[in-house]
């Protein structure tokens, strides 16, 4: 992996809640007929979906609030190996799961190999892998939070970047 970052489940949920609250405040200040309002509302909805996915894993699947999810930005060879293992007929959502499985270093859903990690990840709430995908994508952006040579960690700022698997 080029770089990795570990997220604590409960901390990630709390940071999403804080970010959603900030967006709620921003919406109160914006004219609801503007495109800025629509963009802010869309971002808030996306973060709420991520939060729901993380909360589902904690509450319904029994992941510990202290569960750690370590994600990483793949190297070129890791990405190539993921593409080799992923079925060529995989559609958008399935490609997302392969991407997240390959970007996961450690998490409650990690299996003995990439295929098992993919299958386990497929049992998660759909908001969870979308959150993890955004995190892994952000790790591959130079200068993004968590990409410090000094080892700064625990950034949970969401990325709005498109998945390279779409």
Q: Please state the pTM of the whole predicted model.
A: 0.85
In angstroms, the CA 17 to CA 120 distance is 26
pLDDT of the residue at 69: 98
Give the percent of the chain with pLDDT over 70: 86
Q: In what order do the strands lie in the sheet with 3-8?
A: 3-8, 68-73, 104-106
Residue 157 in this model has a pLDDT that exceeds 50: no
**Closest to 15 in 3D by CA, of 40, 63, 51:** 51
Residue 83 in this model has a pLDDT that exceeds 70: yes
Average pLDDT over all residues of the chain:
89
Residue 163 in this model has a pLDDT that exceeds 50: no
Residue 165 in this model has a pLDDT that exceeds 90: no
pLDDT of the residue at 145: 62
Residues near 93 by beta carbon (within 8 Å), at least 6 away in sequence: 126
Residue 151 in this model has a pLDDT that exceeds 50: no
What are the tokens at 49? Answer: 């979906």
Residue 156 in this model has a pLDDT that exceeds 50: no
- Residue carrying the six token digits 């997240």: 100
Kindly tell me the burial class for residue 57, based on how many C-beta atoms sit within 10 Å of its own C-beta (0-12, 13-18, 19 or more): buried
Residues near 62 by beta carbon (within 8 Å), at least 6 away in sequence: none
Helix axes 92-103, 127-139, angle to 10 degrees: 60
pLDDT tens column, 58-77:
999 999 999 999 999 999 99
pLDDT of the residue at 143: 78
Give the percent of the chain with pLDDT over 90: 85
């Amino acid at each position: 992996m080029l770089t990795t970052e570990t997220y604590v489940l409960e901390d990630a949920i709390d940071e999403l809640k804080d970010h959603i609250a900030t967006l709620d405040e921003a919406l109160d200040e914006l004219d609801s007929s503007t495109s800025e309002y629509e963009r802010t509302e869309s971002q808030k909805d996306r973060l709420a979906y991520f939060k729901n996915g993380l909360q589902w894993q904690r509450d319904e699947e029994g992941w510990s609030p202290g569960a750690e999810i370590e994600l990483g930005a793949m190297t070129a060879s890791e990405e190539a190996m993921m593409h080799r293992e992923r079925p060529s007929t995989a559609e958008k959502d399935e490609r997302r799961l392969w991407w997240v499985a390959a970007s996961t270093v450690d998490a409650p859903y990690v299996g003995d190999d990439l295929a098992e990690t993919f299958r386990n990840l497929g049992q998660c709430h759909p908001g969870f892998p979308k959150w993890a995908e955004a995190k892994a994508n952000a790790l591959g952006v130079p200068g993004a939070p968590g990409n410090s040579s000094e080892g700064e960690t625990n950034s949970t700022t969401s990325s709005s970047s498109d998945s390279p698997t779409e």
